Amino acid sequence: MVASKGSGSRASAQETFAQMAKASGLRGRILFTLGIVILVQLGNHVPLPGVDTKAFSAALQSGGLAALAGLLSIFSAGFSILGVFALGIIPYINASIILQLLTPVIPQLEKLQKDEGEQGRKQIAQYTRYLALVWGIIQSVGITFALKNIPGAVPPENFTPFFIFQSIVILTAGSVLVMWFSELITEKGIGNGASLLIFVNIVASLPTSLGKTSELVQADSTKIAGVVILAIVFLVMIAAIVFVQEGLRKIPILSAKRQVGPGGMNFKKQETSYLPLRVNQGGVMPIIFASSLLILPISLAQYANNEVATQIAIALSPTSWIHTVLYVVLIFFFSYFYSTLVINPEDLSKNLKKMGASIPGVRPGKNTSDYVERIINRLTIIGAVFLAAVALVPTAVEQATGITTFNGLGATSLLILVGVAIDTGKQIQTYVISQRYEGMVKK
């Protein structure tokens, strides 16, 4: 994507809110999104039939599973009480990870993505839905049989074949519904549906975390200093996240435009534009994918006895060193993976050559692709280091101050909150600007 200088007109905050109030199209999209979000939240609080939710919640908070429960609550607000939407968006995200990792490996998928255009992307999206359904069934089976090992969750006499079948069907259907709702938001609402549902889950869990923090301070006044330090770290991180998320490296582009002068003489005029490369190409997706991938082992462990699942959960707890190492490795991997998906240096070089454009001081062709690739690699390193720092620094501060009411998830939640808010805000601004130009054309 090449942007010309002076073309970045943006709608002011006042104009954005005025357009949201006046434009029926934008207002309808926002109301539609709110309606879907409310519906999902209601489904999160409808318990699975035949399950003692209090016993299930108590089991999650014991044996080192509290941190895991906090991690799962990011992707599914209904998991803590085992609601009908307990799986939430997790199967869909896992399916997306698998398909995106397989696309460069399987030639047929790569051809669909690169050569088939919009139709190919729709076909890959359909494969993702099928895989999400399969993964939803697998996780539903695992959760259902894990209930047998949770004391008091389901009375032994009620754990019948009918209960097993009913639970698997309800949990699987719930995950498919949430996936469909997320796609509806993306298509007919505002923002990316999956990211927005995760955003809402985090916002919904904040009052509980803040309430626990308040209770901790009231019980021990010496924790006030720790809370203040943690709040300052969070504020600094928010500012840093906004700065990096908005950060761009602008590569100048020169293009020759043919014009007709006096007397019908042709001459070429050079125009300067730029190629905007984001510091963090993947946005919040590396964090979301890294977090969700760390949930996979515990999902698979649901087939084993509860003790094994508990030990795996403790090993992958956000406060453990194993989780920290895996988290950083996955963040770097997905940062580089997404940078290759967003921009292909070779394709970019060919497109610039076709347009008659070039980068000053760089020869067209392979030199251009190598130059762009070097810049992307440097930016990706900076972005990955930043994401890893954002994920680890607040967690370290929580442990140092003893304020663990966020279960080590403050950093992940912050990045997703700020990143999704920025992306959604940009989409709203883009819609406002398009409405403004449409109004000018009609006049």
pLDDT at 267 over 50: no
- Specify the DSSP class assigned to residue 48: P
What's the confidence (pLDDT) of residue 56?
79
- Between residues 178 and 154, the one the model is more confident about: 178
Q: Which residue(s) pair with 116 in the sheet?
A: none
Tens-digit pLDDT profile for residues 32-89 = 999 999 999 888 888 888 888 888 777 776 654 555 565 666 667 667 778 888 888 8
What's the confidence (pLDDT) of residue 59?
74
Angle between helix 66-75 and helix 90-102 axes, rounded to 10 deg: 80
Kindly state the average pLDDT of the residues 6-30: 61
In the chain, % helix, strand, coil (3-state, to 5) comes to 70, 5, 20
Residue 147 to residue 156: CA distance in whole angstroms? 10
Place of tokens 């997320």: 182
Buried b / exposed e across 314-346, counting CB within 10 Å, b at 16+? Answer: bebbbbbeebbebbbebbbbbbbbbbeeebbbe
* CATH assignment of the domain containing 316: 1.10.3370.10
pLDDT at 7 over 50: no
Tens-digit pLDDT profile for residues 387-439 = 888 777 777 777 777 776 665 556 667 778 888 888 888 888 777 777 666 55
Buried b / exposed e across 207-229, counting CB within 10 Å, b at 16+? Answer: eebeeebeebbeeeeebeebbee
What's the confidence (pLDDT) of residue 184?
93
Tens-digit pLDDT profile for residues 305-314 = 556 666 776 6
What's the confidence (pLDDT) of residue 429?
78
Six-digit token string for 153: 């969750």
Tens-digit pLDDT profile for residues 192-250 = 888 888 888 888 877 777 888 888 888 877 788 888 888 888 888 888 888 887 888 88
Total count of domains within the chain: 1
Residues 6+ apart with CB under 8 A from 352: 253, 358, 359, 364, 368
What percent of the chain has pLDDT above 70? Answer: 78
Give the C-alpha distances (Å, rounded to integers) separating 203 from 80, 415, 416: 15, 13, 11
Query: Is-contact 212 53, C-beta < 8 A?
Result: no
Q: Domain residues for 178? A: 3-442
CB neighbourhood size of 441 (10 A): 6
- Between residues 291 and 363, the one the model is more confident about: 363
Give the C-alpha distances (Å, rounded to integers) separating 116 from 281, 350, 393: 24, 19, 43
Tens-digit pLDDT profile for residues 105-155 = 888 888 887 777 778 888 888 999 999 999 899 888 888 887 887 777 788
Query: Is-contact 306 149, C-beta < 8 A?
Result: yes
Tens-digit pLDDT profile for residues 253-265 = 887 655 555 555 4
Query: Is-contact 290 331, C-beta < 8 A?
Result: yes
Tens-digit pLDDT profile for residues 351-364 = 888 877 888 888 88
pLDDT at 173 over 90: yes
